[in-house]
Amino acid sequence: MSISPIIHESWKEALKTEFAHPYMEELKEFLIEEKKNYTIFPHGSNIFNAFNSTHFEDVKVVILGQDPYHGAGQAHGLSFSVQYGVPLPPSLQNIFKELVADIGCSFPKSGDLSHWAHEGVLLLNTLLTVRSGEPFSHKDRGWERFTDQVIRAISEQREHIVFILWGVPAGKKASLIDPSKHRILTAPHPSPLSSYRGFFGSKPFSQTNEYLKSMQIVPIEWCL
């Protein structure tokens, strides 16, 4: 399972020497061993799908998730997204309910968020791999350090990006972002356990587009 060759060149440039750090080699070796003994999601070709779908210079919005879905056929390297034809997980159902209420889209028929990625929404998980059926099984193996650096690179090298941080773990990443250059939107996680504590009615989609338009940036077409 190779690490660096399958990520777009724009990210290799933005992240410079990150792939040369020893922890990345250790992470690579860990994933090789994991693959020998377990089923790992997403498939190796999709680990960096978020970066290959949304190039560095095209990022307008970052939606931060946690770790990939751990059920068969779900994860494909985009946070909160599931592959076409897969039943919607509860959090994604709630995201879509807010999408409909916020900007009047029809309720999407598919949970595949690739369209958002192509619109400039980086659908980033803090962990990029997981064992089948074992959430957070790849925690503290190096992915957090890598994705923190991704957030820092966007904050430092780009301007006027909207960071959508849902839930407490995502909200803590605000410390990596320069609020004088970017817009940070926080709300409770869309999980059924927390969505009624303020996720519903938070209007992340309209708020994002209002900010982008105020910065003379083409807004996101959120309807799927």
Q: What residues are annotated to the active site?
A: 67
3-state secondary structure of 23: helix
Q: For residue 62, give the nearest of 121, 137, 19 by alpha carbon.
A: 121
3-state secondary structure of 12: helix
CA distance 113 to 79: 9
CA distance 108 to 218: 22
Q: For residue 126, give the nearest of 82, 59, 67 by alpha carbon.
A: 67
CA distance 127 to 136: 8
Q: Which segments of the chain does DSSP mark as H helices, in order?
A: 9-15, 22-37, 49-53, 90-103, 114-119, 143-157, 168-171, 204-214
The residue to which tokens 């909200």 are assigned: 171
Q: Using DSSP, how many helices (H) and how many strands (E) does the chain show?
A: 8, 6
CA 77 to chain centre: 8
